[in-house]
Chain A
């Protein structure tokens, strides 16, 4: 099997995540699709590391994971705050930054 198959799988998962961000309106599901895209890029990085024979790709995937964890914490806190004021987690509702 050609290792490029992993990269094709990663591209497929990334496209699915991107279409989820465009299609879904529940903020939490949109956020999950962003996580899916990050995971897809991680798979590509790990595959490139293996194809190039050095560990730099794996280090970058590791940093992506750390940044994703920080992003999830802040993003979910924002969603909870929006839900508290608007009683809804729909991305259509929050079209003004302040209220």
Chain B
């Protein structure tokens, strides 16, 4: 029994260096994934997801898949995640997730389902027959050459279908993002009439304050009576809860500073 166990261990052993890489990056990937799940702001989720993907890229490299490791960095963390960030900026970084449960007990049910699913998956894996043949033979001419051999011979039909899929996706994105103009184009004249009719600020909004102590965009300008002018701050900074934007410097402090100078 022990000999067969030792034989199995020898056949499936991957070496110390790879084990160190795995036990270093695996927990980081799991923690970052949990961060994606639990962080309140979507931007944090996006960055943590990028961290998970980078960890996975290194794990691909460790498993004799250099082509996929590089593609993972270029396509996933480079293109896909940046696309996510673009859309986040478009939709607005201050769009908060509502924490009100619309279905009662949905959160508990979802957690139970996820844990149960994970448990089933892992317990099923326990019975798997493990071999570790390694890719020495398959990668004899290099990983990229080996992959190209397969893609352009056995999988060439799937490859061609993929090109059709990509063209369709590009067309679909263009159709979805295109906006039909239903009303007349608003001219500059219309806009200025609208601004003066509206009765709010016809002139540009005041800029943020610049003082001897604070030279920052998150410091509100002061009105003649010393109170901070809320309109001088960017809406995004208030939404992001930049400290200076929450507690603007009071007029009195600035006045004493001016007296001292």
Contacts and interface: CB of A to CB of B under 8 A. Distances in A.
B72 interface: yes
Interface string B31-71: 00110110000100110010011001001100111011001
A94 interface: no
Nearest to B101: A25
A10 B120 CA distance: 14
B213 interface: no
Contacts of A53: 131, 133-135, 137-138
Given A4-B130, A47-B63, A92-B102, A29 B176 contact: no
Please classify how large the interface on chain A is, using the bins under 10, 10 to 19, 20 to 34, 35 or more: 35 or more
Contacts, number: 240
B240 interface: no
Interface residues of B, number: 86
Interface string B83-118: 110011011000101100010001100110111011
A65 B70 CA distance: 12
Nearest to A28: B42
A24 B97 contact: yes
B18 interface: yes
Contacts of A25: 97-98
A96 interface: no
Contacts of A61: 65, 68
Nearest to A59: B150
Given A11-B122, A15-B117, A72-B83, A50 B177 contact: no
Given A13-B30, A20-B36, A51-B132, A36 B83 contact: no
Given A7-B128, A23-B37, A79-B91, 17 more contacts: A5-B26, A7-B125, A26-B95, A29-B42, A32-B45, A49-B65, A50-B65, A51-B131, A52-B131, A52-B133, A61-B68, A62-B147, A65-B72, A70-B166, A72-B84, A74-B169, A78-B176
10 contacts: A9-B30, A11-B125, A16-B114, A51-B131, A55-B138, A55-B146, A65-B75, A69-B80, A74-B169, A81-B177
Interface of B: 9, 12-15, 18-19, 22-23, 26, 29-30, 33-34, 36-37, 42, 45-46, 49, 52-53, 56, 59-60, 63-65, 67-68, 71-72, 75-76, 79-80, 83-84, 87-88, 90-91, 95, 97-98, 102, 106-107, 110-111, 113-115, 117-118, 121-122, 125, 128, 130-135, 137-139, 143, 146-147, 150-151, 155, 158, 162, 165-166, 168-170, 172-173, 176-177, 179
